[in-house]
């Protein structure tokens, strides 16, 4: 069989979604597969092979994040400048020692790198800190979706004992005693009045500017088709097909912004966390947590709501195994709160090479952090 005929045949297999598990002559097979996948993906995403998506899943193709075409002007907005100053100011906390940036450090891709957050009096939190990258694009916030806006979200960490431990109603009065804040508030709002509404509004305005940098994957989508390696393109294809990642990690954010139970509820045991159920009180939400974005994923470790995984291979191994699938005892069968692992999770036929390809793709969607200059705090 001539090489051209082999490529055409392989292309047909790829387009039909058939997994490549057979070999015909070793090294040349790999070359043909790499060439064929590059041909298929070096085009507009709307022409990519159909993904393997389960029935009933509303999905969106992977794509580019919206960009601010006038970012320099946005960052010079007085309200953004005020919000950034507040974000880095530890005086927003009761102890004057903890700022928003304590748990959302720009150099750590706007997370803190800890299993669980640490706050006031070094008290540990109960969940892993979410990165703030692209936070303005999410419809609901926190792992359990308890906040609908960044303005509402800001009050929670300010008030919580094991975070900033500051009485929100007293914060405006506290900051009004800092003379240097008055001109910043006047520039942002037209007068020097300082209150909680303006504080959280400015914080939210600044946080909406926190975006991922353009990744090599983004450049690939834009037409720079040499920006991804053969192994990374193979990982992209697996991500969209037999690895089943796109069922939950889709769209420009690589998140469906929905809630899923991954089998990590620890129901009835130490570390139990009932997730979204604590917000909705709907038994169907027991153990469900919001799908995180995979943008810059290799720099936002540790992963999961409880920071359980610090190595990407370990987390892939769990997904390949189908994640934990707890089975109720006889006594638990009548328990309406017994958690049910999402049916989208099932064992995967992924070999070691394919796992490496998936990890390579995750590197292609990860960028180095933006260097952020700390503001000079008002006196």
Q: Encode pLDDT of 83-120 as tens digits.
A: 999 999 999 999 999 999 999 999 999 999 999 999 99
Q: How far apart are CA 226 and CA 38, in angstroms?
A: 9
Report residue 44: phi and psi, to 5°. Answer: -55, 135
Nearest residue to 162 via CA among 111, 127, 123, 116:
123
Q: How far apart are CA 305 and CA 379, in angstroms?
A: 38
pLDDT confidence tier of residue 327, bands split at 50, 70 and 90 = very high
Q: How far apart are CA 194 and CA 164, in angstroms?
A: 19
Q: How far apart are CA 53 and CA 33, in angstroms?
A: 22
Q: What is the reported pTM?
A: 0.89
Q: How far apart are CA 75 and CA 81, in angstroms?
A: 7
- pLDDT score of 170 more than 80: yes
Contacts of 116 (CB under 8 A, 6+ apart): 124, 125, 126, 127, 128, 129, 306, 307
Q: How far apart are CA 110 and CA 126, in angstroms?
A: 18
pLDDT confidence tier of residue 34, bands split at 50, 70 and 90 = low
Chain-centre distance for alpha carbon 1: 46
Tokens 């090489």 correspond to what residue? 3
Span 207-214, average pLDDT? 96
Cβ atoms of residues 99 and 260 within 8 Å: no
Instruction: Using DSSP bridges, classify how beta strands 259-261 and 288-290 pair: parallel, antiparallel or unpaired.
Output: antiparallel
Nearest residue to 287 via CA among 325, 230, 329:
325
Contacts of 174 (CB under 8 A, 6+ apart): 91, 166
Q: Which pLDDT score is estimated for 246?
A: 98
H/E stretch holding 152 = helix 150-159
Residues forming beta bridges with residue 260, ordered by sequence position: 289
Cβ atoms of residues 116 and 128 within 8 Å: yes
Span 233-245, average pLDDT? 98
Span 59-76, average pLDDT? 94
Q: Which pLDDT score is estimated for 33?
A: 59
* SS3 label, residue 182: helix
Q: Which pLDDT score is estimated for 69?
A: 87
Q: How far apart are CA 35 and CA 12, in angstroms?
A: 13
Span 44-64, average pLDDT? 96
């Amino acid at each position: 069989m001539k090489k051209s005929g082999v490529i055409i045949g392989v292309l047909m297999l790829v387009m039909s979604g058939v997994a490549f598990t057979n070999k015909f002559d070793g090294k040349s097979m790999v070359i043909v597969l790499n060439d064929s996948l590059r041909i298929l993906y070096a085009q507009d995403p709307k022409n990519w092979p159909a993904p393997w998506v389960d029935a009933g899943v509303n999905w969106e193709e992977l794509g580019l994040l919206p960009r601010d075409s006038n970012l320099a002007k946005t960052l010079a907005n007085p309200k953004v400048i005020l919000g950034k100053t507040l974000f880095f100011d530890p005086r927003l906390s009761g102890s004057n020692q903890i700022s928003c940036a304590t748990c959302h450090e720009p150099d750590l891709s706007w997370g803190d790198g800890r299993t669980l957050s640490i706050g006031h009096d070094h008290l540990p939190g109960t969940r892993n800190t979410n990165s703030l990258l692209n936070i303005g694009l999410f419809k609901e916030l926190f792992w359990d979706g308890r906040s609908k806006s960044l303005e509402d979200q800001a009050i929670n960490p300010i008030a919580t004992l094991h975070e900033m431990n500051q009485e929100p109603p007293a914060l405006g009065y506290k900051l009004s005693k800092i003379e240097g804040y008055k001109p910043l508030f006047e520039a942002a709002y037209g007068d020097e009045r300082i209150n909680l509404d303006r504080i959280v509004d400015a914080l939210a305005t600044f946080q909406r500017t926190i975006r991922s940098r353009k990744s090599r994957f983004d450049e690939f989508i834009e037409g720079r088709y040499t920006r991804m390696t053969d192994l990374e393109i193979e990982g992209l294809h697996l991500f969209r097909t037999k690895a089943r990642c796109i069922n939950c990690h889709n769209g420009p954010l690589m998140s469906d912004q929905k809630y899923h139970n991954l089998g990590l509820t620890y129901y009835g045991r130490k570390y139990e966390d009932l997730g979204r159920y604590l917000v909705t009180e709907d038994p169907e939400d027991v153990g469900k947590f919001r799908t995180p974005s995979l943008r810059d994923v290799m720099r936002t470790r540790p992963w999961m709501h409880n920071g359980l995984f610090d190595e990407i291979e370990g987390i892939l191994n769990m997904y390949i195994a189908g994640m934990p699938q707890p089975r109720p005892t006889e006594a638990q069968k009548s328990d309406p709160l017994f958690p049910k692992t999402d049916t989208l999770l099932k064992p995967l036929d992924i070999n070691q090479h394919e796992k490496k390809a998936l990890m390579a793709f995750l590197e292609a969607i990860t960028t180095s952090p933006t260097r952020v200059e700390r503001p000079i705090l008002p006196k």
